[in-house]
Structure 1
Amino acid sequence: MSLPTFPDDWARATVIVAHPDDPEYGVAAAICRWTDRGKAVTYVMASSGEAGIEGMPPEQAGPLREQEQIRSAAVVGVNDVQFLGFPDSALRNTGELRAAIAQVIASTNPDVVITNFRGAEWAPGMSNQSDHIELGEAVVQTIREMPSTHHIRLFENGAEPTHIEQLSEHEVAKAIESLAQHAEYLRVLDPETSVREQATAQIHSVCYRDGEDTAAVHFSEIDVRA
């Protein structure tokens, strides 16, 4: 059965995720499509990803990864990028984190919120990161507890999709370029494979899911009234 198309009747989206590069690994091609159509998108990272580059001190890695994220976002038309300063690899669904998320939602006033997949596994044997789970749960809880958020539609880039956003080759290419801006991170992650090759492989795995011929990004809608 074909999935319904991602809704188009909105003007502002806020993407709230755990780390720099999280939007690029999942939804950058869809973001490019939306900004090209005049929609406003804000990126919010709970951490600066300072623990994410092996062999690099956090005080060096954090600012570097922030700059990579800002460049990456610009490629797909996002110029509002915020970092909340919570510790990388130690995110917890706390009152402090939820308060920061609530402030972001109040200030950006989104119609749509996108967050990390909260499931324990992407697929059998493919574990999700604790930071993703904790941040995603914090976003869901925050929106459910905030007053006047009944209009918000909340989605995660999940393993069991409810909606699909079809993509053009241009949007896929821009997503590859966007992920490739995380150059230092990718070089350390896999020194044997070029940054461009890594970015291309990742974006194709997301956009051509299950061997599909047509590119798309898949989303799972979360009931904010539950």
Structure 2
Amino acid sequence: MVAEQLEPMPTEWTRALAVVAHPDDIEYGTAAAVAVWTDAGREVSYLLATRGEAGIDGIPPEESAELREREQRASAAVVGASTVRFLDHHDGVIEYGTALRRDLAAAIREHRPELLITINHHDTWGARAWNTPDHRAVGRAALDAAGDSGNRWIFPDLADNGLVPWDGVRWVAVAGSPQPTHAVDVTDGFERGVSSLLEHRAYIEGLTDTSPETYARNVLESITGGGAAPQFGGRPALAFELFPR
């Protein structure tokens, strides 16, 4: 059976905002696409709901938050991301709701992206690989906030603070979705994608006994090669589920 082919990602945009739950979420593939986009002169900013303070078992949250924030900023710099901002939601217990939607709508109004990128909001990563509550909450809130940001009657206090409605989000791209529709060739961004993930060294060392260098390369090869490539002309690719607006 021939796999259904993925469509190329849109290119008619200049600004993107990536909204995820934790440090490292962007680096599991998406950062390689960010490298390609910034090379082409596009602006990509990062917004993280947490500082990933509950992500390393052997490091207390108050220490882990500072460490993981440093790692994320270094990681973003590798691929040319414009800004990195952290919200104050708590790692592991992010709650989907109006407070989260408001925070994301505010960021969208501030950055005014045409492309909004987020993490998998589905229950699973495919088959029986269960997704985490943080990913589901942030991904779903990002999809909703793309509409909230353009409605003057939702969160009207934002406009009072200078964040006027922005109805310019044209697409929401969901990375890691088990239902991909589009992809971007990351041949030219692959090595920087590996380097970007490798900046999360403390996180990786707490996750596996495999050397961080081997782990980062294996992960990116699996995502961009074994994942999207067969559905995108055999090229290393990063897949997204694209929601036009």
Using the size of structure 1 for normalisation, the TM-score is: 0.94
Contact 2:223 2:238 in 1 (8 A): yes
RMSD: 1.4
2:115 counterpart of 1:100: no
In the alignment, the residues of structure 1 paired with residue 190 and residue 146 of structure 2 have an alpha-carbon distance, to the nearest angstrom, of 30
Q: How does 1:32-43 map to 2 (within 5 A)?
A: 32-43=35-46
Return the match for 1:47 from 20, 26, 50. Answer: 50
In the other structure, the counterpart of 1:162 is: 181
Other structure's SS at 1:127 match:
coil
The CA deviation at 1:76 is 0.5
In the alignment, residue 180 of structure 2 is paired with which amino acid? P
For residues 135-158 of structure 1, the C-alpha deviation after alignment (integer angstroms, 9 at most, x for no partner) is 111111122233242543111011
How many residue pairs get aligned? The number is: 222
Runs of 4 or more off by more than 3 Å in structure 1?
210-213
Contact 2:105 2:148 in 1 (8 A): no
In the alignment, the residues of structure 1 paired with residue 82 and residue 146 of structure 2 have an alpha-carbon distance, to the nearest angstrom, of 24
Contact 1:16 1:115 in 2 (8 A): yes
2:83 counterpart of 1:86: no
In the other structure, the counterpart of 1:14 is: 17
For residues 147-184 of structure 1, the C-alpha deviation after alignment (integer angstroms, 9 at most, x for no partner) is 2425431110112111110122x411110000000000
In the alignment, the residues of structure 1 paired with residue 148 and residue 226 of structure 2 have an alpha-carbon distance, to the nearest angstrom, of 34
In the alignment, the residues of structure 1 paired with residue 17 and residue 45 of structure 2 have an alpha-carbon distance, to the nearest angstrom, of 5
Q: How does 1:110-149 map to 2 (within 5 A)?
A: 110-147=113-150, 148-149=166-167
Other structure's SS at 2:52 match:
coil
Other structure's SS at 2:70 match:
helix
In the other structure, the counterpart of 1:63 is: 66
Return the match for 1:196 from 213, 216, 226. Answer: 213
2:241 counterpart of 1:220: yes
Contact 2:95 2:137 in 1 (8 A): yes
2:196 counterpart of 1:178: yes
In the alignment, the residues of structure 1 paired with residue 169 and residue 30 of structure 2 have an alpha-carbon distance, to the nearest angstrom, of 22
In the alignment, residue 154 of structure 1 is paired with which amino acid? V
Gaps of 5+ in 1: none
The CA deviation at 1:7 is 0.6
In the alignment, residue 196 of structure 2 is paired with which amino acid? S
For residues 5-34 of structure 1, the C-alpha deviation after alignment (integer angstroms, 9 at most, x for no partner) is 101110000000000000001311110000
Gaps of 5+ in 2: 151-165
In the alignment, the residues of structure 1 paired with residue 142 and residue 78 of structure 2 have an alpha-carbon distance, to the nearest angstrom, of 26
Q: Kindly, what percent of the aligned residue pairs are identical?
A: 34
Structure of greater Rg: 2
